[in-house]
Each structure stands twice: as structure tokens, then as C-alpha cells.
Amino acid sequence: MVAKLTRGFWPKVARIILRNRILILALIAAVTVFLGMQWQHMRFSTSEANLLPDDHPINLQYNEFLNIFGEEGNAIVLGVKDSALFTPEKFNRWNILSKQLDAFPEVDFVISTDNLQILKKDNEKQEFVLLPFLEDEVGSRKEIDSITTTLFNELPFYDKVLYNKETRTIRTVVYLDQDIVNTSVRKDFILNDLSKLVENFEEETQLDVRVSGMPYIRTLNSQNIIDEIGKFIGAALAVTSLIFFFFFRSIRATFISICVVTIGVMWAFGILGLLRYEITVLTALIPPLIIVIGIPNCIFLINKYQQEVNKHGNQALSLQRVISKIGNATLMTNVTTASGFATFIITDSKLLTEFGTVASINILGIFILSLLIIPIVYSFMALPKTKHLKHLNKKWIDGFVSWMERIVREHRIGVYFTSVALLALSIIGIYQIEISGSPIEDMPKKADFFKDIRFFEQEFDGIMPVEIVVDTERKKGVMKPATLKRMDRLGEIIEETPELSKPVSVVNLIKYSKQAFYNGIPRYYQLPTAQENTFIMDVARKSQGNSELLQSFVDSTGQVARITTFMRDVRTDRMEEIERVLLENIAKIFPDERYSVYITGKALLFLKGTKYLVRNLLLSLSLAIGLIALFMAYLFRSFRMILISLIPNLLPLLITAGVMGFVGVPIKPSTILVFSIAFGISVDDTIHFLAKYRQELTANKWRIKQSVYAALRETGVSMFYTSIVLFFGFSVFIISSFGGTVALGALVSATLLFAMLANLILLPSLLLSLERSIANKEVLKKPQIDILPKEELPDSNA
């Protein structure tokens, strides 16, 4: 009954489309204009992608930290490692640069040699005072020598904060206004004002200024994403149109296809604006994805139209058959592809949910556009000329299909042996896959800002903030000697960890206070003894300067303190080991009944987010496989056919995973996407092949071999065409400067190539070998939906 309804449905759709051509084109134009108006609502992401759900405990802790101490990722650092800086002229110019930065409203405050404050004891008033490190401009080399001696030898409080004593690297720390850190104002300031000041400084002094810090990294990374969108769209259009023209040798057909996918891209941007989603490193991939996925739709439709014209020369009948015969087939394949993307919606990750939502909507959108526009546009045109139909008789394509048929006929044992060997190797490779939780793993390695990240890692031991929050659970508990000693012990453990920078906390300030109490002698930079504590803290309580400094390290009640350190970019297993060691020591140093201590910060947040995402994406991949298995069950009503159809689609995924393990590509948010995307696309070939196979069985009175070879000949060309387009289409992502995008493009391309070979060689081999089990009328019942017409596959004899 459903099949009858389906068979009657598509001819009706064809009549509606062809009888209402002008109205439909007007509606498409209206929708395109409406979505074009939504472009004004598009905005690029100004904050890091939070991979954890809002109610996750790690997220709740991080938000609690932000509520107490404010944004921790608001510092931009500028550094110079050059002895030429220590000349009066250049040193004064360096100090002027910090004054210029401090003058901007976007900057909260700046710490540099220009405004460095030295803590000293006022013996008359018996209080600590903050005095400027520099009274005036430096006038001579002798002054410079005196300043550097004082800075590098007498101010350990600023060691690895403003200078590296061993390499004599100097840096300036610029703290942005916390209210603008996650807004577009930050971007404008960094790309325009900051960049201009740094360029001017470099031109005048001939010094190389390194710039980094989370706001700076995020801004330049986002700008790279923006720059690459146009590059991807242009490359995808160029590659797919060239391949399309190579297959069809028709400028007209190529132009029509490019128009279809261009409108699809416009819709993709419009839907992003309509839903108010930010453009992230993932959603930026959707427009070129639409091009890559949309072109195969155009190949199916135009190829079928030209076949029909070649057969009988009747344009009206050709167009009617294009819609009625191809509509169902392309709908089914686009639905399975969209399903692969739609499974990301269940991941609880805002980043992936938005990506899955927009991608799946636009895949269905490009199907509708191609089904409507191509037949309508051709209805206004003259019939294709003979030269446009020559591609239907390409000898080399026939040779390719004959080669595959020969392998299936004569080398099935070799096919199975190769498949099992590849599976075994893949399993070995899978065990070598690592998970990457590094927030800078995918950043462009050749970019200057990435080189600057490595510079600051080398000079100051890290760039990714890690925060340890110590809640004493009583007011003014932080300043108790016992708490300070515990924090100091933890600080020593942090300092002994090579991947972590020198910790900064209230402990450093107390040590500095003792040094100041003893007239600035560096060897007194340590915590006060029990005897010293009373009178040093008495002096500290009278000092206004100290209370201002305390605000950065302790909350207003004196109950909660922070210990700030920075982590190098290290392997995920090492990050987890560092976290484990810190938690073990925290448990030993801070008794549970007296303290509440937790670790947070951007580095930990990304690590936990990645691990969470991997678990969720494995779930979404399982769901995609389950959904498509149900879909195949609904189509073919055979459990054995479900198993046979899944094997040639799961094997390529396992091979790709094995390759990742062998070549060292880690599992991360970008690469885990490969499997769901590739599975959703590759299963289309299986549906085409099995649908044609079932049809041939009926036509050939259940003669198995004849049906398999006929299906292989009929579908082989189409699968080759579309796989080549998809292979080269996804390959355009290799031109990206982002490691994750490059890996995504290369891995999806490789997986789809493996899937094509599996569907054209392994699948028919299985059908032939298992013919007695599956080739009977009970197993291959008539499906609920006729995917293909009885006459032929839409791309036969292409």
C-alpha cells in the first residue's frame, strides 16, 4: 500500500513542479531574499567553544570562580628577547608603548617596567608603601645597568611574571576590561589599535615583539576562521565545477549546478543568522559542505535528464521522469546524509548541536533546491546538443566497471582476505589512537601568533591558565599562617612540575612583604616565621597599597584565595597525570573538613570538554548507525540485508580509525566528526546498489549472479562519479591552516574512497557468496518504499 502511494506521489510532485514553474522560482527567490536579510544577524564567535553542558560540575566550578575573581583569560602579553632593548632610547620607547596601551578605554590596567611598583617599608609610619620603579625616563647606559640589576636580582616577586632572569626576556602584561573580553570590541582593539602600536614600535626600534595571551590568540584564531570561509567556498566551487565539467563537458550544465549550490550557500548563511548561531570553526565548514554534498544531487538529476533526452528526445517527458524517478532516490540519500549530521544534536554540546542542526537543515534544503531548480531551468532551455551527450558513452568508465566486475567474479577470496587483513591492521592501529585535549592543537602552526605561543611557553613556562581555588570556609581564613603555609607547599609542587609556570598567589605577596620589611633584601623573600608574622602582618594591615594588591588574589571576605599558574601545551595523558598529582597533593595538604579546594581554568575546561565530547560523539555515531540500520530494515525488511549493508560501511570507518592510530592523528573534536559524516554519506551508495539489486532480482526471476552483475554495472558509474566529487570536494579542506580541518578533510575523503571500493567490490562479493541465505522471496520482501523506478537507476549507463 505504501509503495503504491509512493509510486503515485512522485509523478504528482513532477506535475506540480512543472505546472507552477514561475511561482516556484518566485518562492525560491523570496526565501533567498528573506534568508539574505538574516545575514545581518550573523556573528563570529568571540569566546572559546565550551564543549561541556552548562550544568556540568566542571562548568559550575568555573563559573563560580568567574563570579569571585572575574575573567581569568583577559591578559595580553607582549615580550621582547633582545639585548638591544637595554639601551636608553629603546628602553624608553618600550615604556612609552605601555603608556599608549594603558590610555585605551578597552584596557583595564597595564603592568610593565614603566609603571612597576616596588613594595617598601615606611619606617616612620610603620606601613608598607608602593613606590614607582622608574621615576623618569632613562638617560644613560649606567642607569640601564642599575635598573636591570635591580629588576633581575632584587625583585623575585616579578620573576617569570615580567621578566625571565636567565634569558633577560622582558614582557608587558595588558589586562583588558573584563566587560569587553567576550565581545567584538576586543577584536577591533586587538586587530586595529594593538597591532598598529606594535608595528610602529617594531619599525622605530627594529625589535621583534612577541604577542600572546588568550584574548589575542582567540582573536587571531577567529580571524583565521573568517578568512578561510571565503577560501573554502571558492575552492569547493572551483574543484567541484571542474570535475562536473570534466564529466559532462557542458558549460551550461556546470553553470546551472553552480547556481544551485550558490543559492544553497546563501541559505546556509541565512539560517545561521536566522537561528542567531555564531560562526565557529565547525559552522564555518557548512557552506563548503553544502557545495560538496549538493553537486552529486546535480549529477544525478542532470545525468538522468540527458539520458532521457538521448533515449527519446521528448523534453517534457524527460523532465517529468527526472523528478518522478530521481526524487525518491535523492530524497533517501539526502535523508541518510542529513541523519549523520543530525545525530550531533544529541551531544549536549552547544557547539556540536548548532553544527548538526544547521548542517542537517541545509542538506535537506540543497536537495529541495536541486529538485526544483534543475528541471525548471531546463524546461526553459533548448534540448541538449549531441556533443553534450557524448559523456554518456565514455569508454574509460566502462573499463573501470569491467575491472570491478572482474574482481568480484574471479577474486572474491582475495577480496575477503584483503578485507580481513585490513580489519586486523586497523584494530592494531585503533589501539594506538590518543585523545587530544589541547586547546591549541588545531591552531595554524605556521601562523605568527602560534609561534609566539611557543615563545612564551619557552620563556615563561606556559600560556594556558590553570586556577586552583582555596576556600577556607571562614572569613579572613586565607591570611592565617597555617593556610599560607599549605598554599606555599602546594606552590612548591606546582613549581617542581616542568609543564607548569611559577604559581602566583597571595603567598607571593606575603613573601614580598617580608622582603620589604627587611629593606628589600632578596634572601628574605619567604613566608614570615610565627614570630615575624605578627608584626609584619600588623604593618601590612596599615598599608593601603597592600589591600589593592590583595584584590587580585583573595576575595573581599578574605575567605577564598586563588593560585594561578600556566600550563604548557602537553599531551592529554600528561595533562591528566598533572591533574591527578595535583589533586592527590591537594587532598594531603588541605584537609576536607577544613578546606574546599578545586582546580579550574581554561586548560582544564577544554581537556574535560574534549573527553566529554568524545564520549558523546561515540554515542551519536552509534545512533547514526542504529538509525540507518532501522532505515535499511524499513526499506528491505531483512535482518540479513541490514548486516550485509552495514559491513561495507563500517569497515571503511575502522580502516580510517586504524590509519589515524598509525599516523598519529589524535581523537579530538574535529576528527571524531569524520565518522558520523562519512557514514551518513557512504551509506547512500549501499542504498543505491541494494535497491537496484532487489529490482534486478525481480526482473531476472531471482537469478543471483545475473542480478548482482547487472546492479554493479548500472550503479558503478554513478557511485564512481559521486565518490570522485565527494573525494575532491572534501579534499579542499586540506588547504586550511587549522590542523583539525585538514585532518577532517583528509580523513573524510579517504573514508569515502574506501567506502566506494567496499560498496562496489566487497558488497557484491558478499551478496554472491551468501546467495543461498539472502536471495529468496522471503528474505527480500518487497520494500515499503520504491527507492528506484522499475526501468532503471537514474544514473545508469552514465
Looking at the domain 1-41+216-393, which fold is it? Multidrug efflux transporter AcrB transmembrane fold (1.20.1640)
Task: List beta partners, residue 117.
Answer: 132
Across residues 370-392, what is the average pLDDT?
A: 77
User: In the chain, where does the domain assigned CATH 1.20.1640.10 lie?
Assistant: 1-41+216-393, 396-431+637-798
CB atoms within 10 A of CB 472: 24
Q: Within its chain, how far is the Cα of 715 from the centroid?
A: 35
What is the pLDDT, as a whole number, of residue 202?
92
Best CA proximity match to 487, nearest among 508, 516, 515, 458: 508
47 or 688: which leads in pLDDT: 688
| Distant-in-sequence, close-in-space partners of 795: CB < 8 Å, separation ≥ 6 | 299, 300, 303, 304, 307, 715, 717, 718, 721
Highest mean pLDDT out of 290-304, 347-361, 412-426, 542-556? 412-426
Across residues 563-571, what is the average pLDDT?
A: 85
Q: What is the DSSP string of 514-558?
A: HHHHTTT-GGG-SPPPHHHHHHHHHHHHT-HHHHHHHTTTB-TTS
| Distant-in-sequence, close-in-space partners of 538: CB < 8 Å, separation ≥ 6 | none
What is the pLDDT, as a whole number, of residue 1?
42
- Residue 564 φ then ψ, to 5°: -105, 130
| Distant-in-sequence, close-in-space partners of 454: CB < 8 Å, separation ≥ 6 | none
What is the pLDDT, as a whole number, of residue 267?
94
Quickly state the pLDDT bin for 245 (edges 50, 70, 90).
confident
**Alpha-carbon distance 568 to 176, whole Å?**
23
* Residue with cell string 601590612: 540
- What's the number of CA atoms in the CB half-sphere (13 Å) around residue 60? 3
CB atoms within 10 A of CB 188: 14
Distances 782 to 441, 490, 590, 776 between C-alpha atoms, Å: 51, 71, 70, 11
Across residues 568-591, what is the average pLDDT?
A: 88
With pLDDT > 70 as the criterion, what percentage of the chain qualifies?
90
**Does residue 603 register a pLDDT over 70?**
yes
Across residues 484-495, what is the average pLDDT?
A: 92
What is the pLDDT, as a whole number, of residue 428?
93
What is the pLDDT, as a whole number, of residue 349?
74
Across residues 722-734, what is the average pLDDT?
A: 84
Annotate 404-421 with three-state secondary structure: HHHHHHHCHHHHHHHHHH
Say what angle helices 214-248 and 251-274 make with each other, to 10 degrees. Answer: 150
| Distant-in-sequence, close-in-space partners of 75: CB < 8 Å, separation ≥ 6 | 173, 174, 175, 176, 213, 214, 215
What is the pLDDT, as a whole number, of residue 266?
92
**Does residue 740 register a pLDDT over 70?**
yes
What is the pLDDT, as a whole number, of residue 512?
86
Annotate 747-779 with three-state secondary structure: HHHHHHHHHHHHHHHHHHHHHHHCHHHHCCCCC
**Does residue 299 register a pLDDT over 70?**
yes
Of the listed ranges 78-82, 286-290, 524-528, 766-770, the least confidently predicted one is 766-770
Sequence-ordered alpha helix ranges (H) in 38-87:
57-69
Mean predicted lDDT score pLDDT of the chain: 82
**Alpha-carbon distance 216 to 201, whole Å?**
18
What is the pLDDT, as a whole number, of residue 676?
75
With pLDDT > 90 as the criterion, what percentage of the chain qualifies?
17
Is the CA virtual torsion 386, 391, 392, 398 positive or negative?
Answer: positive
Instruction: Assign residue 738 a region (left: φ > 0; alpha: ψ between -120 and 50; beta: otherwise).
Output: beta
**Does residue 792 register a pLDDT over 60?**
no
Do residues 176 and 107 touch, judged by C-beta distance below 8 A? yes
Highest mean pLDDT out of 16-25, 348-357, 527-536? 16-25
Best CA proximity match to 476, nearest among 561, 535, 413, 552: 561
What is the pLDDT, as a whole number, of residue 2?
41
Do residues 435 and 572 touch, judged by C-beta distance below 8 A? yes
| Distant-in-sequence, close-in-space partners of 564: CB < 8 Å, separation ≥ 6 | 72, 465, 466, 467, 503, 504, 505
Task: List beta partners, residue 526.
Answer: none
**Alpha-carbon distance 123 to 41, whole Å?**
61
Reduced to 3 states, what is the DSSP secondary structure of residue 116? coil
What is the pLDDT, as a whole number, of residue 382?
77
**Does residue 766 register a pLDDT over 90?**
no
* Residue with cell string 575491472: 403
The C-alpha cell at 746 is: 583528509
E strand residue ranges, 54-182: 75-80, 107-111, 117-122, 127-132, 163-164, 169-176
308 or 455: which leads in pLDDT: 455
Quickly state the pLDDT bin for 396 (edges 50, 70, 90).
low
pTM for the predicted model, two decimal places: 0.76
Class of the CATH-defined domain 396-431+637-798: mainly alpha
What is the pLDDT, as a whole number, of residue 470?
93
Distances 765 to 174, 414, 415, 699, 711 between C-alpha atoms, Å: 66, 10, 8, 20, 12
Across residues 154-168, what is the average pLDDT?
A: 88
Do residues 653 and 302 touch, judged by C-beta distance below 8 A? no
Of the listed ranges 192-201, 444-453, 461-470, 663-672, the least confidently predicted one is 663-672
**Does residue 572 register a pLDDT over 60?**
yes
**pLDDT tens-digit profile of 679-718?**
777 777 787 777 777 777 777 777 777 888 887 877 777 7
What is the pLDDT, as a whole number, of residue 760?
86
**Does residue 190 register a pLDDT over 60?**
yes
- Residue 78 φ then ψ, to 5°: -120, 130
103 or 310: which leads in pLDDT: 103
Q: Any idea what the Cα angle at residue 656 is, between residues 651 and 661, rounded to 5°? A: 125
In 3-state terms the chain splits into helix, strand, coil percentages (rounded to 5) of 70, 10, 25
Reduced to 3 states, what is the DSSP secondary structure of residue 170? strand
What is the pLDDT, as a whole number, of residue 394?
62
Sequence-ordered alpha helix ranges (H) in 380-411:
395-410
What is the pLDDT, as a whole number, of residue 7?
56
Sequence-ordered alpha helix ranges (H) in 594-663:
602-636, 639-663
**pLDDT tens-digit profile of 496-523?**
998 888 898 888 888 888 888 888 888 8
Quickly state the pLDDT bin for 468 (edges 50, 70, 90).
very high
* Residue with cell string 584596557: 107
Across residues 241-254, what is the average pLDDT?
A: 80
Furthest CA-CA distance within the chain: 110
